[in-house]
Structure 1
Amino acid sequence: MYTLLSILQVFIAVVMVLLILMHSGRDTGLSGAFGVGTGSGPFGGGSLVERNLNRWTIAFAIAFVVNTVILIRIG
């Protein structure tokens, strides 16, 4: 069980890094390459994509914290 949760923790961490890099910052970061922060592109506008990106990031952050607490408790 501990090994499975550890593998899941690594997966969640990698996905979180990718999601955070997708966010548009002051310099539009990596999201500018995909048309997320520019307001144009194949998505038709950045607001819906940014909102969904925020939701996914929050969901994975919560999963990361919960998984960390479970790993600490059983470890």
Structure 2
Amino acid sequence: MIIGISIALILASGLMVLLVLLHKGKGGGLSDLFGGGFTSSFGGSSVVERNLDRLTIITGSIWLVCIVALGLLLKP
């Protein structure tokens, strides 16, 4: 059970990094450094941006549940 949660945590972490980098940058931060041209053409639609927000929130929730579950299972 711990191994399954650990694998889910690793997958959720990787997906979170990817989703955060795909978000449209609101300034001259790291999102412009990592492919600002791609995200500006990709994130032009408000529907795409809303779906990306939802997917990021869902992935973050899964990540948080995995962290709490591992913390409770590995408690001495």
Q: TM-score range by the shorter chain?
A: 0.7 to 0.9
One-letter identity of the residue aligned with 1:51: R
2:33 matches 1:66? no
Cα distance, 1:32 vs structure 2: 3.5
TM-score of the superposition, structure 2-length normalised?
A: 0.79
Higher helix proportion (structure 1 or 2): 2
TM-score of the superposition, structure 1-length normalised?
A: 0.80
Cα distance, 1:4 vs structure 2: 1.1
User: 2:8 maps to which residue?
Assistant: 8
One-letter identity of the residue aligned with 1:21: L
Q: Once superposed, what is the RMSD of the aligned Cα atoms?
A: 1.6
Structure 1 Cα separation of the partners of residues 48 and 36 of structure 2: 10
Structure 2 runs not aligned, ≥5 long: none
Query: Is the contact between residue 22 and residue 31 of structure 1 (CA under 8 Å) also seen in structure 2?
Result: no
Structure 1 runs not aligned, ≥5 long: 40-45
Which structure has more relative contact order (CA 8 Å, sep 6+)? It is 2
Identical amino acids, percent of aligned pairs = 37
Structure 2 Cα separation of the partners of residues 55 and 31 of structure 1: 21
